[in-house]
Copies of this chain bind each other. A is one copy, B any other.
Amino acid sequence: MPTIRDVAEKAGVGLGTVSRVLNDSPLVSDTTRRRVLQAISDLNYTPSLTARRLSLGKTMTIAVIVPFFTRPSVTERLRGIENTLASSDYDLTIYNVETVKRRDECLQHVIRHERADGVIIISLSPRDEDLPLLVNPEIPVVLVDANHASLAVLNRVVVDDVAGGRAATQHLVELGHQHIGYISDYLEEPFNFTSSRDRYLGYRQILEAAGLPFRSEYHGQGPHGRQEAYENAVKLLTLPDSPTAIFAASDTQAMGVLQAARDLGLQVPEDLSVIGYDDLEIAEYLSLTTIRQLLCLSGQRGAELLIEVIQDPPKEPICEVLPTELVVRGTTAPPKPEDENRGSAVYPPASLDNPSPISQSWHTG
């Protein structure tokens, strides 16, 4: 591999001159510049990024620490980040986190070992013991989708999930539902995800405001996932006094709820209203009513914010709040009149052992 020295020699100029040509410095005469460019092309020379990094003291890299990066909501955020970085000079390196151990390793390694000029952390809300690493970090940090009271000290892009939870529940209440279930991740889990918790708060607030009792058996928690949500939905829907509407903390979980309704022979939205959260691409396909959050934009803004922070660190931490929006589609409707004095209703003997194949049980027109 030719080095800058070879180029200098071949062009008959000094090291500094070649460097200046490489960096588009105006302090080179045209004739010299041409000679150098000719030598570069003759030697098929490309500068060493690593040497450049050492000399400049910058890595020209942004690191992203992200849990479960195959989840559609997460890839959307990543896409926003990638798009932004692609038009900058930064490379993007990704640390996928699927265990607590790896989360801790990544925080330590990435933030400390000058692997990047900045870090974006997605959805992993720091615990108190993580704060020392993050408050005066060796490199700038931006959190995306991490919400926590003590985080006022950190740069971040967040969504008001409490408001989103309110909007979802409010929509169901306005349709006339009085028995509203909530299906979510475990509210307490080791990754300290806040979305299920915050949406739960919104849910509780609206129940309270509407004078509806909170019933703990209407709250199904479990690991994130369609299948787990399916199982929780079956539990809720086979209660003697089952909900007429279910708010799922994500579209993925809403799919599990829809599947449960299907297998139990319930028509959506006639027998059961379902609302999700995220507005994934699939939501439109399913005609799922949902709360839209601007996933891609959250990544984009996070990356833009990080680049700003790298260029000149703000005195005060910056917090940007993105809006949510209710998207009404075909899976929510007023409850059936007869459902209002339920308690005696007997469910049709739908067999769970023998689930129907795909049936288009909810039509959207």
Binding site for B on A (CB under 8 A): 1, 46-51, 53-54, 59, 61, 69-70, 72, 75-76, 78-79, 82-83, 86, 91-96, 102, 112-115, 138, 226, 255, 258-259, 262, 267-269, 281-282, 285-288, 329-331, 357-358, 360, 363
Among B69, B286, B363, which residue has its beta carbon within 8 angstroms of that of A358? Answer: B286
Smallest Cβ-Cβ distance to A259: which chain B residue: B285
Q: In the complex, which of the residues A79, A102, A331 has the most CB atoms of chain B within 10 Å of its own CB atom?
A: A79
What is the CB-to-nearest-CB distance from A178 to chain B, in angstroms, rounded to a whole number?
23
Q: In the complex, which of the residues A78, A112, A258 has the most CB atoms of chain B within 10 Å of its own CB atom?
A: A78
Knowing that A46-B113, A94-B94 are A-B contacts, what are 15 other residue pairs whose CB atoms are under 8 Å apart, sorted by A's residue number? Answer: A49-B114, A50-B114, A51-B54, A53-B53, A69-B82, A70-B72, A70-B75, A70-B79, A82-B96, A91-B115, A93-B94, A258-B358, A262-B363, A282-B282, A331-B357
Contacts of A114 in B (CB 8 A): 1, 46, 48-50
Smallest Cβ-Cβ distance to A365: which chain B residue: B263
Instruction: Knowing A75-B75, A330-B358 are in contact, say whether A49-B115 is a contact too (CB < 8 A).
Output: yes
Contacts of A282 in B (CB 8 A): 282
Total copies of this chain within the assembly: 2
Q: In the complex, which of the residues A79, A282, A285 has the most CB atoms of chain B within 10 Å of its own CB atom?
A: A285
Contact across chains for B91 and A92 when beta carbons are under 8 A apart: no
Contacts of A331 in B (CB 8 A): 357-358
Smallest Cβ-Cβ distance to A99: which chain B residue: B86
Contact across chains for B96 and A79 when beta carbons are under 8 A apart: yes
Contacts of A54 in B (CB 8 A): 48, 50-51, 53-54
CA distance A49 to B53 in the complex (A): 10
Contact across chains for B285 and A226 when beta carbons are under 8 A apart: yes
Contacts of A267 in B (CB 8 A): 360
Contacts of A288 in B (CB 8 A): 358
Contact across chains for A102 and B75 when beta carbons are under 8 A apart: no
CA distance A40 to B282 in the complex (A): 52
Contacts of A96 in B (CB 8 A): 79, 82-83, 86
What is the CB-to-nearest-CB distance from A120 to chain B, in angstroms, rounded to a whole number?
13
